[in-house]
Amino acid sequence: MLKVFICGGSGYTGSELLRILALHDEVEIVGVTSEKSAGMKVSELFPAFFIYKKLKFESLNTEAIKNRADVYFLALPHGKSQQVAAELLQAGKKVIDLSADFRIKDVRIYEQWYKTQHLFPELLKEAVYGLPEIYREKIKKARLIANPGCYPTSVILPLYPFLKKKLIDTSTIIVDSCSGVSGAGRKADITLSYCEVNEDFRAYNVAKHRHTPEIEQEVGFASGSSITIDFTTHLLPLNRGILSTIYASMKKDLSTAEALEILKEQYQNEPFIQIMPEGELPSMKYVRGTNYCYIGAVVNPRTKRLILVSAIDNLVKGASGQAVQNMNIMFGIDEAKALRSLALSP
């Protein structure tokens, strides 16, 4: 049994790890931290997770926990993960960091967008961006995984094959994404209270969302060039899910069928990617509670633009499910273990 430790277990990505790992028969959760709920049983804070009757939240003390597990999931705020990750790596442990701390390779860009100093630039080089569909081989050997952001996962996967094949004009990429409320985290915040979100829809962080440089980095790597995009995010009145609509002018005329073929070819052996048939597009409900990413494509014959639509569950493929997928890969476990649930539908 692989021993697993969760740092930051009372937020939505932490609790999602608890939910997913409950079905994983090759791991044992040996500890979980929460500053606010330290001392409480997991089953008290989350009665839905009644099986964790003995596991108690503890305060995070890296020194005290560094010898208790084989792999550590860090579901901590950005800026806080860095230090914990560094100390656990120092102790010879493997770390899967769900924060943004190790995603951006260029320290200056990280510091500019996250307004925080990066104390471990040398670890940035080592960290592997944990998108298995692109970096699986590196993940197998990684000690430190920078688990991708939710929006970037939904944007990079559909764009990747078109960029690699240099089929689109990279100066024309516009990404319009919508996320459910769990993406904002579990917190007391009046703007996230039920009555303020329900029956509402709004754009936020327009032209300044922190996932912008992460997307730009990865689509840049794929295309071999520097890319600047427009990325707009909206808040949907629902719990889970991201749907991204991506627009780009094509360098070469493709039909919708050809665009879909490119996606199918790229992802034909991927366990978690589903390409929609021509004429159909992903719906958020296809991925609710699952680790799947559904992708559809339309070429508008009137404007010659490629329109890609993708759907993921922001807490699963967009966070904790992908983290478990990375863990499975790192430890030679069946990659889909504990991640096979179909969408809760309706």
54 or 187, CB closer to a copy of itself? 187
Which CB, 92 or 185, lies closer to a copy of itself? 185
Shortest spacing between CB 316 and a copy of itself, in angstroms: 10
Catalytic residues, by residue number, are 150
Site for a copy of itself in 118-177 (CB under 8 A): 172, 174, 176
Site for a copy of itself in 64-83 (CB under 8 A): none
Give yes or no for residue 210 binding a copy of itself (CB under 8 A). Answer: no
CB of 301 to a copy of itself, least distance (A): 7
Looking at residues 4 to 63 of the shown chain, list those that interact with a copy of itself (rule: CB under 8 A): 12, 15, 18-19, 22-23, 46-51
Distance, in Å, from the CA atom of 184 to the CA atom of 253, rounded to the nearest integer, reads 39
For 154, residues 6+ apart whose C-beta sits below 8 A from its C-beta are: 177, 242, 243, 244, 293, 310, 311, 312, 318
Which of helix, strand or coil describes residue 156? Answer: helix
Whose Cβ is closer to a copy of itself: residue 62's or residue 341's? Answer: 341
Interface characters, 309-328, with a copy of itself (x: CB under 8 A): x-------------------
Binding status of residue 337 toward a copy of itself by CB under 8 A: no
- 112 forms part of the interface with a copy of itself (CB under 8 A): no
Least spacing, CB of residue 53 vs a copy of itself, in Å: 11
Cα separation values, 229 from 34, 109, 214, Å: 36, 15, 11
Specify whether the CB–CB gap between 5 and 72 falls below 8 A: yes
Confirm or reject binding of residue 109 to a copy of itself (CB under 8 A).
no
Q: Are 219 and 173 in contact (CB under 8 A)?
A: yes
- From candidates 39, 92, 224, 301, binder to a copy of itself by CB under 8 A: 301
- By CB under 8 A, tell whether 276 contacts a copy of itself: yes
* Position 221 contacts a copy of itself (CB under 8 A): no
The answer to whether residues 12 and 186 touch, using CB atoms and an 8 Å cutoff, is yes
Q: Considering only residues 35, 253, 280, 334, which one is a binding residue for a copy of itself as defined by CB under 8 A? A: 280
The β-bridge partners of 72 are: 5, 95
Q: Are 332 and 326 in contact, with CB atoms under 8 Å apart? A: no
Of the candidate spans 75-83, 106-114, 120-128, 292-300, the one that interacts with a copy of itself by CB under 8 A turns out to be: 292-300
Interface residue with a copy of itself, options 67, 125, 207, 332 (CB under 8 A) = 207
End-to-end, the C-alpha distance of the chain in Å comes to 35
User: Given candidates 8, 14, 282, 318, which one binds a copy of itself under the rule CB under 8 A?
Assistant: 282
Least distance (Å) from a copy of itself to the CB of residue 237?
6
Between 141 and 194, name the residue whose CB sits nearer to a copy of itself: 194
Maximum Cα–Cα distance for the chain, whole Å? Answer: 62
Distance CA 2, CA 4 (A): 6
**302 binding a copy of itself? (CB under 8 A):** yes
Phi-psi bin for 253: left (phi > 0), alpha (psi -120 to 50), beta?
beta
Tokens of 192: 């996230």
182 binds a copy of itself (CB under 8 A): yes
SS3 label, residue 33: strand
Burial of 101 (C-beta count, 10 Å sphere; 0-12/13-18/19+) = buried
